[in-house]
Copies of this chain bind each other. A is one copy, B any other.
């Protein structure tokens, strides 16, 4: 029934001629920024999320031998209850948990996963179908509404979880369950006679199938993913036909346009990023995977257009994306409201997934810049410093109404940020034969296999608080290969030296990566020095919300001002365009972070008599300000916050 498998080799060995990520467990964070976060997520986030899944009834949906509990989340106008996709939440949790198991054995955690897997196996239908909602509540309605009900989305997340658990433990029970489910999907959907020509409106299964294919090498798994991508947006729409079969008028679709799920036209014809942001990012991730696996330049071209559209017209400075709550996604170009920003954590995480994939097939720092931006800003802001409180929306401005929550009505984000941080090592390096790409900087040691070269590497740095990076190489024998070092897009001035000898950087940088090819020896040391001043950023004039405002950034870290630091709403501050802004490391701030301080002006309220409006503007007086990294906001007292600061 399932494909034959062996314990997987490293990616590099499998893709000798192509850049592939070094798997996360080969990278060990050392004391510093990411070690602190990844330890928090491993020790606090993963176990508390399992508790929440239990407390909130998510795991009860797997009690297939009992009648289903009364509905806790009502059906929305779209026909969807949040409970339709509870499976996806523990799927993502298993994935996150599995990543930690790869490095750190934990019998209790493994037992928790095994308990879930056992129930899934018990509940799986004879034909392989696996979705707890439909099996328990509406078995006759399975596969009748791909437009609204997230069936394959849920299975996709279970599949990603199964792949991660198999890779972490070598246990294949969960994987076999999911391969049976995939076999069922593959038998049901496709362009052969008797098959349904459908595809899920919430993309996810496609990228999960590629992950599966990469360990099974079963061409049917790749073919199924390819079918879903190629079928998407074809006319006549499957969703129209499916609605009519349900006795509904397709015109009554709640979201009005299939652009909501990027199914308004074939994917290769899309050039503007539209609709639900998470769906878009999952789709583009799968398209990038398939561009890679199928050597399909048409998909790469579409992804390039879409990436440029996103980053040049629709991306918050934090890496957040999808400004609107009403469609959880995109509206019009340059629409980047701050206080009502939706900018879902999941969307920023998924932009990281996509950017990372793009960088593997096209080593361009613009992709890894986007990845780094979400990692330090718009994705990381989704989790609290204590590792057990979350944001769904990542606003860029607040009057104090936004607070982190312990759990959510639709808790898709907590497990998403968890699986990103527990597998963070994979984003640091890629390799192929005779080539190592260094994408990210941060204190770590790593073990890298470049085909025929086995390499140990040690990064020493205070990054992102400081731009100096020392990379030491450990080699058993001398070897010639290339090291490609990312020059971050935010950096305007930098130096590289090797074993103390400065390198002439002219001509060695291509698409943001400096390439050094030489015969490397054990103990060789690369020193990078990225100049990291405080930068002022201004938004394109079409972004009306940011007119006459400035954002502060230092290195990859975007800053904000919180009311708790200055004793007033930052909305009343005005920065001067030329005032000195100083950076200093504040050991007291939430485990330590670089803060920015300077002089600004404060709009006075004391002399503003009764009334909202008057004929003269406010008077100003000098005032000190302090800005903190955006990702750390809302970890202390409630209060106002602002990223885009008025400047005059």
- Beta-carbon contact of A605 and B544 below 8 Å: no
A617 within 8 A of B: yes
Select one of B315, B541, B577 contacting A604, CB under 8 A: B541
A337 within 8 A of B: yes
User: With A332-B401, A337-B340, A612-B315 in contact, is A648–B538 under 8 Å at CB?
Assistant: no
Which residue of chain B has the shortest Cβ distance to A399 in the bound complex? B332
Copy total for this chain: 2
- Beta-carbon contact of A539 and B612 below 8 Å: yes
User: With A542-B605, A544-B571 in contact, is A537–B613 under 8 Å at CB?
Assistant: yes
Chain B residues lying within 8 Å of A544, measured Cβ to Cβ, are 339, 397, 399, 569, 571-572, 642
Chain B residues lying within 8 Å of A116, measured Cβ to Cβ, are none
A603 within 8 A of B: yes
- Inter-chain CA distance A402–B548, complex, in Å, is 25
Chain B residues lying within 8 Å of A4, measured Cβ to Cβ, are none
Select one of B340, B401, B604 contacting A340, CB under 8 A: B340
Chain B residues lying within 8 Å of A571, measured Cβ to Cβ, are 541-542, 544, 547
What is the distance, in angstroms, from A468's C-beta to the closest C-beta of chain B? 22
A615 within 8 A of B: yes
Which residue of chain B has the shortest Cβ distance to A74 in the bound complex? B77
A193 within 8 A of B: no
User: With A340-B340, A613-B538, A615-B537 in contact, is A547–B74 under 8 Å at CB?
Assistant: no
A551 within 8 A of B: yes
Which residues of chain A in 560-575 are interfacial with respect to chain B, using CB atoms and an 8 Å cutoff?
Answer: 569, 571-572, 574
Mask: chain A, 582-625; 1 = CB below 8 Å from B; 0 = not: 00000000000000000000011100101111111110000000
User: With A397-B544, A544-B399 in contact, is A615–B648 under 8 Å at CB?
Assistant: no
Mask: chain A, 332-351; 1 = CB below 8 Å from B; 0 = not: 10010101100000000000
A15 within 8 A of B: no
Give the size range of A's interface with the partner. Answer: 35 or more
- Inter-chain CA distance A480–B614, complex, in Å, is 39
- Inter-chain CA distance A308–B646, complex, in Å, is 29
Chain B residues lying within 8 Å of A548, measured Cβ to Cβ, are 548, 574, 617, 646, 648
A142 within 8 A of B: no
- Inter-chain CA distance A574–B648, complex, in Å, is 13
A483 within 8 A of B: no
A462 within 8 A of B: no
Mask: chain A, 538-554; 1 = CB below 8 Å from B; 0 = not: 11111110011011000
Chain B residues lying within 8 Å of A536, measured Cβ to Cβ, are 615
Which residue of chain B has the shortest Cβ distance to A317 in the bound complex? B613
Select one of B539, B542, B617, B647 contacting A538, CB under 8 A: B617
Q: Which of A315, A337, A535, A540 has the most chain B CB within a 10 Å cutoff?
A: A540
A313 within 8 A of B: yes
Which residue of chain B has the shortest Cβ distance to A254 in the bound complex? B74
What is the distance, in angstroms, from A74's C-beta to the closest C-beta of chain B? 6
Chain B residues lying within 8 Å of A642, measured Cβ to Cβ, are 544
Chain B residues lying within 8 Å of A540, measured Cβ to Cβ, are 605, 608, 611-613, 618
Which residues of chain A in 76-131 are interfacial with respect to chain B, using CB atoms and an 8 Å cutoff?
Answer: 77
A145 within 8 A of B: no
Select one of B74, B340, B543, B547 contacting A612, CB under 8 A: B543
A312 within 8 A of B: yes
What is the distance, in angstroms, from A71's C-beta to the closest C-beta of chain B? 12
5 other contacts beyond A317-B613, A547-B646, with CB at 8 A cut-off? A74-B77, A311-B611, A317-B612, A539-B613, A541-B618
Q: 6 shortest A-B CB distances, which residue pairs?
A: A544-B571, A541-B603, A538-B617, A541-B618, A537-B613, A541-B572
